[in-house]
Amino acid sequence: AHLARIEAVDEKVHAFLHVDREGALAQARAVDAKRERGEKLGPLAGVPLALKDIFTTEGIPTTVGSKILEGWIPPYDATLTKKLKAADVVILGKTNMDEFAMGSSTENSAYGPTGNPWDLTRIPGGSGGGSSAALAAYEAPLAIGTDTGGSIRQPAAVTGTVGVKPTYGAVSRYGMVAFSSSLDQGGPCARTVLDAALLHEAIAGHDELDSTSIDAPVPPVVEAARNGDVKGMRVGVVKEFSGEGYQAGVMQRFNESVELLRELGAEIVEISCPSFDLALSAYYLIAPSECSSNLARFDAMRYGLRVGDDGTRSAEDVTALTREAGFGPEVKRRVMLGTYALSSGYYDAYYGSAQKVRTLITQDFEKAFEQVDVLISPTTPTTAFPIGERADDPMAMYLADLCTIPTNLAGNAAMSLPCGLAPEDGLPVGLQIIAPAMADDRLYKVGAAVE
């Protein structure tokens, strides 16, 4: 049914870069055969899923939304892919994304944009717009995203779906193409809080192949999602995430959520996190710095595309020509910014300062979580904007992640879930819930209560 749905709508939505029809049917049949033999089934047996094209899949193309990996077939599965298979999930295919997960609209994909199923002329968010659009268009009931600065939560918000960025280190990064290694985190996307929790449980857990993987039990997210309750909880409203630049209808729905939480028995506390105002600047030094280093591996020798290798050129020239042809403008912008920020003589002024700001943000969270159990804010300042509107203005694009970035810098957990439609445009608004590191279950407890 999901393959038929993809066939019917994906020409317009363009959520998928690659639909693995044969593989999906084979997986589904294998689950059926297991069931018939009376074998024990995985926890998500037979449930179809849309996988962001940033996770390696053995034998299936993985492009990261980039021309530089066009035609590359990974020889191995990411740990997350392995875990999905072990859970007996049926992987429908790979979803569209901003190139190397750099963006907030999926317009930076080298393979063309994805439409927002609520209004195909608008963006589905980014970088994981394909995964969220697949959910909103009913092409898949579950999807996987990655969140470096908001790429799970922001697409969830603008498509009216649920997205969770788990605590940093909760989901293995092995086989997840690196953008900014100290920020990148894979996580679940779904249409309900409980569905997200079931997927969360299936993909989280310690992995020896990822040196930053957390070696501790996964928080009881499914139990929390089944027992939504905020009675007696202290919920902090982040003061800095309101005011200028926030759409009226977004604030209206957010304020209604605050009232709902109060009615359900939560104690509402206003919290100030003064360093959050610096988060965007720090992020746009740290993320490009790490990406300039990570993307050095695309040298035309190891993977995918190779341009100008006609026997007359040096290896350096082939590398340069390949990177020139293979990377899009946003990736080039970030590699240049990052290389500059890490240059000798500039390191302390830029990268060093950004790391200090990162510590201040972490301390703001620590202080906040001494007073409250979770923090809340709108996920995004505005609803989905029209395709093309911010394409030539990187700064305007970067603002889409204003509320999501601090969590990545500090490494704690956050969820976005729908909280109604903005009255002025009828488009979905996201409520963000933020929890301390390793307290991911609180997101589900609160999310399930207000869903």
Residue selected from 109, 148, 292, 383 as contacting ligand GLN according to rule CB under 6 A: 148
113 lies in the site for ligand GLN, by CB under 6 A: no
* Residue 104: CB minimum distance to ligand GLN, A: 4
Examine residue 130 and tell whether it contacts ligand GLN (CB under 6 A). no
Interacting residue with ligand GLN among 109, 131, 151, 247 (CB under 6 A): 151
Candidate residues 149, 160, 328, 378; the one interacting with ligand GLN per rule CB under 6 A: 149
Q: Which of 147, 195, 364, 440 binds ligand GLN (CB under 6 A)?
A: 147
What's the start-to-end Cα distance of the chain, in Å? 27
140 touches 4 (CB < 8 A): no
User: Closest approach of Cβ 248 to ligand GLN, in Å?
Assistant: 24
Write the DSSP symbol of residue 202.
Answer: H
Rounded to an integer, what distance in angstroms lies between the CA atom of residue 382 and that of residue 94? Answer: 28
Contacts to ligand GLN from residues 397-416, by CB under 6 A: 401
436: contact with ligand GLN by CB under 6 A: no
Minimum Å distance from CB 219 to ligand GLN? 22
* Nearest-approach distance from CB 289 to ligand GLN, in angstroms: 12
Would you call 180 a catalytic residue per the annotation? no
Q: Provide, rounded to whole angstroms, the least separation between the CB of residue 371 and ligand GLN.
A: 28
φ and ψ at 32, to 5 degrees? -60, -45
Q: Are 11 and 19 in contact (CB under 8 A)?
A: no
- Region from 40-48, 78-86, 149-157, 305-313 binding ligand GLN, contact rule CB under 6 A: 149-157
Q: Please state, in angstroms and rounded to a whole number, the distance separating the CA atoms of residues 232 and 86.
A: 38
Active-site residue (options: 105, 109, 131, 151): 151
Q: Any alpha helices (H) in 327-439, and if so which ranges?
A: 329-341, 353-371, 394-398, 405-410
**Cβ pair 262, 269 in contact under 8 A:** no
Interacting residues with ligand GLN between 165 and 224 (CB under 6 A): 179
Q: What's the CA dihedral at 100, 102, 106, 109 to 10 degrees?
A: -40
72: helix, coil or strand? coil
Q: Is 337 in the site for ligand GLN (CB under 6 A)?
A: no
Active-site residue 257, yes or no?
no
Find the angle CA(168)-CA(232)-CA(431) to the nearest 5 degrees: 50
Cα separation, 35 vs 33, whole angstroms: 5
Site for ligand GLN in 278-307 (CB under 6 A): 287
Closer to ligand GLN at the Cβ: 195 or 401?
A: 401
Q: Which stretch binds ligand GLN (CB under 6 A): 102-110, 190-198, 308-316, 371-379?
A: 102-110
Q: Is 127 a catalytic residue?
A: yes
CA distances from 283 to 127, 276, 333, 345 (A): 15, 11, 15, 20
Compute the least distance from the CB of residue 442 to ligand GLN, in Å: 22
Closest by CA to 360, choosing from 288, 433, 275, is 275
Report, in angstroms and rounded to the nearest whole number, the Rg of the chain calculated over CA atoms: 21
127 binds ligand GLN (CB under 6 A): yes
Round to whole Å and give the CA distance between 195 and 161: 11
Q: Which stretch binds ligand GLN (CB under 6 A): 4-12, 25-33, 147-155, 202-210?
A: 147-155
- Cβ atoms of 432 and 404 closer than 8 Å: yes
Active site residues: 52, 127, 151
Interface residues with ligand GLN (CB under 6 A) are 101-104, 127, 147-151, 179, 287, 401
